[in-house]
Amino acid sequence: MMPRIFTYVVHKAGAIDDSAAELAAAARKIDPIASPTALVAGWGRHLDAVCAALRPYYAEVWKIAGENFSHPNAEWIRKALVKVLPPGSIVLVPHDHFGIDLSPGLSIKLNAAYVSDVLGIKGVEANDLKVVRQEFGGQISAHVRCDISSGAVVTIRPGAFEPLDSSPAEGVIIDKSCAVGTISAGRRYLQTLLAEAGDVDITKHEVLVSIGRGIQDKENVAIAEELAEALGAAVSCSRPVVDAKWLEKSRQVGSSGKTVQPKVYLACGISGAFQHLAGIKGKPFIVAINKNPRAPIFQVADVGIVDDILEFLPELTHKVREARGLPAK
Amino acid sequence: MEILVCVRRVPDTSENEISLNRAGNDIERDELVYSINEADNYAVEEALQIVAKAGGNVTVVTVGGEDDEEVLRREMAMGAKQGVLLTDSSFDGSDGRCIAAILKAFVQMGNYDLILTGVQAEDGAAQVGGMLAAMLDYPFASVVNGIEVLDDRKLVISREVEGGNKEINETDLPCVLSIQTGINEPRYVGMRGIRAVASVPIQTYGAEELRLDAGHVGAAAAKVKRLDYFVAEVGGGAEMLDGDREQNVEKLVELLAAKGGLK
């Protein structure tokens, strides 16, 4: 028999995260006739709003209410889920900063298999769930087999599954709060500090010259700045550039940086990790320039050039200045 | 404070083009450049900065084989006091859960206040730290990009959450934290530093010393197994400009003009 499938619904201020409909789609790929159950933890009117909004999508919504869940602290939520989940369940969680906080430990406590950052589901044969993952920053894919005989915790890459339309359900909300009982955890949420605004707001620009690890050195950032100046664009970047302190955090595009919606995005020496791509919205025209022909950025770009940006960009700058009638530098 | 940092030697994705081997069952491993997993290196640096302020020692541990000693020595050259290699043929084929079980056995032989891992390695699984914490019943926090020692029982930590925001938590010790890249600026390690620790013995433990039951580690215990590698074509793929540099620049300027990039 197919195990029961649960999806963990992330929400914020009473609104359901996009991942919820994607998890429902992933559940359907595991079991085409699945009727997954939504798991929601939270507190107060926000939680009630989320549960109500989930009813059209799910036959059952399991509600876990508690003041400790008013902020999504994975340490508390893990302990709650361990108390309510039936043995052998498959639990789907989004692969984001919450999912990777919650899920590995949850799999241990449920004595279930753990497979993370899943992009594709091939199906179930006997006790094996077969999935598609990526390794090496998306340079290569892998088929992975996961033994689900004692259940599984599976994290799903955001954006990898087409969200499922609402099926006409009138789901019931089942309050599981009592089953949770008293729990305590050694980690306590204090506050959230909002990201500092930078000198340039990259979210307001129509053209971005975005640089990655391929820029190689802080001194080379000027090469990108010169191109940006010629184009009337701003310079943004991927995570390694911020890690190396070559640009401010406010210039970072990605799930842990800014979400941008330019018309044109020049990805220069950027490999194209999914966390970076998650920050690019509105389907811009993407140009990728990278030395590595295997870089995953070429799979999502409109135009690709295999070249060293340190040599290519200065020539591009020169031609752009010519085309726009700007004096040569 | 006694700090244990779990590290791994991995093919360096910034130095390598990863491709399928001829048989199609593995990546091409000839001529791969290996290094310390990037996030693990940040974790070691963070541990060194903590003991510089609060006192104590940093131990680095890895599960693997002889080849992995080089990353232990590299981290010892940075300042880790001791390198530990957990190695046994029965560990072969371990999944993340088995690796966590092996590390747990080692942790229980010592007395660590804080255990750090990198946020993820080359397989992107981001799993071992959280599993280890659960096995030990220690608090866990992932994607940590700031640590402040409150006293010998508590830390205040910052987690990297969406949009570059920071989620601040207080956590009891002992705990396990997975460290995000960019938390600090790892110190440079030169050849001289590596030579200086070349003769420091690496402690080595096998399944027996760790009192690990063969049924709990290795291929037989693994619930998760990679079947193969393959090259996926995601999306339509880019139109590749394949002229010489001058032609590509010219063509790109035309395209940018057409797409509104040259207003």
pLDDT of residue B54: 95
In a domain? residue A195: no
A23 DSSP 8-state letter: H
Number of domains in chain A: 2
A174 and A211 inside one domain: no
0.80 exceeded by the pTM? yes
List the single residue in A108, A115, A300 with the smallest CB-CB distance to B235: A300
Write out the two tokens for A113: 């298999």
Same domain, A26 and A170: yes
Q: Are A97 and A106 in contact (CB under 8 A)?
A: no
**B chain contacts of residue A101, beta-carbon cutoff 8 Å:** 130, 140-143, 159
Locate all alpha helices (DSSP H) within chain B, ordered by sequence. 38-54, 69-78, 96-107, 128-136, 191-196, 245-258
If 0-12 CB within 10 Å is exposed, 13-18 middle and 19+ buried, where does residue A244 land?
A: middle
Rounded mean pLDDT, B13-17:
78
CB B140 within 8 A of CB A101: yes
Percent of chain B with pLDDT over 90: 84
CATH code of A281's domain? 3.40.50.1220
Contacts of B191 (CB under 8 A, 6+ apart): none
Looking at the complex, report in whole angstroms how far the Cα of residue B49 sits from the nearest Cα belonging to chain A: 17
Name beta bridge partners: B225: A145
Q: Is residue A127 included in any domain, yes or no?
A: yes
Q: List C-alpha distances in Å: A49 to A13, A43, A172, B158.
A: 9, 10, 14, 29
- DSSP 3-state assignment of B155? strand
Residue A79 near residue A55, CB atoms below 8 Å: no
What is the identity of the amino acid at A85? L
For residues B39 and B116, give the distance between their C-alpha atoms in angstroms, rounded to a whole number.
Answer: 10
- Separation CA B80–CA B40 (nearest Å): 13
Residues A45 and A75 grouped into a single domain: yes
pLDDT tens, position by position, B160-185: 999 999 999 999 999 999 999 999 99
Indicate the angle between helix axes A99-109 and B128-136, nearest 10 degrees. 50
- Regarding whether A220 and A256 lie in a shared domain, the answer is yes
Encode pLDDT of B65-123 as tens digits: 999 999 999 999 999 999 999 999 999 999 999 999 999 999 999 999 999 999 999 99
Say if residue A315 is in the same domain as residue A254.
Answer: yes
Give how far Cα B109 sits from Cα of B103, B112, B175, B243, Å.
10, 9, 16, 61
Q: Answer yes or no: is A188 within a domain.
A: no
pLDDT in tens, chain A (329 residues): 789 999 999 999 999 998 999 999 999 999 998 889 999 999 999 999 999 999 988 889 999 999 999 999 999 999 999 999 999 999 999 999 999 999 999 999 999 999 999 999 999 999 999 999 999 988 899 999 999 999 999 999 999 999 877 666 788 999 999 999 889 999 999 999 999 888 899 999 999 999 999 999 999 999 999 999 999 999 999 999 999 999 999 999 999 999 999 999 999 999 999 999 999 999 999 999 999 988 999 999 999 999 999 999 999 999 999 999 998 87
Whole-angstrom Cα distance, residue B50 to residue B147? 8
Chain A contact for B117 (CB, 8 A cutoff): no
From chain B, pick out residues whose CB is under 8 angstroms from the CB of A288: 238
Q: Same domain for A240 and A156?
A: no
- Residue A83: the pLDDT is 97
Report the complex ipTM. 0.95
Domain membership flag for residue A118? yes
Interface test with A, best of B32, B98, B156, B161 (most A CBs within 10 A): B161
Q: Which of residues 230-259 of B touch A (CB under 8 A)?
A: 230-235, 237-241, 245-246, 248-250, 252-253, 255-257, 259
Q: Mind listing the domains of chain B with CATH numbers?
A: 2-216 (3.40.50.620)
Query: For residue B235, is pLDDT > 60?
Result: no
Note whether residue A215 is domain-resident.
yes
Do A76 and A19 sit in the same domain of this protein? Answer: yes
In a domain, A11, yes or no: yes
- What pLDDT sits at residue B234? 58
Query: Where do runs of H (alpha helix) occur along A31-165?
Result: 44-54, 74-84, 99-109
Within 8 A of A137 by CB-CB distance, chain B residues are: 13, 122, 124
Residue A298 Cα, gap to closest chain B Cα (Å): 5
A258 DSSP 8-state letter: B
Q: Are residues A165 and A229 in the same domain?
A: no
Residue that wins the pLDDT comparison between B260 and A82: A82
Most A CBs within 10 A among B8, B252, B254, B255, hence the mutation to make, goes to B252
- Let me know if residue A196 belongs to a domain: no
Task: Assess whether A250 and A140 both reside in one domain.
Answer: no
Q: What's the pLDDT tens digit per position in B182-197? A: 999 999 999 999 999 9
Residue of A236, A256, A259 whose CA lies nearest to A246: A236
Cα-Cα-Cα-Cα dihedral of A10, A16, A22, A23, to 10°? 40
pLDDT number for residue A14: 94
The residue type at B30: D
Distance CA A36, CA A28 (A): 8
Same domain, A166 and A211: no
Find the domain containing A255 and state its range: 202-323
A172, A228: one domain: no
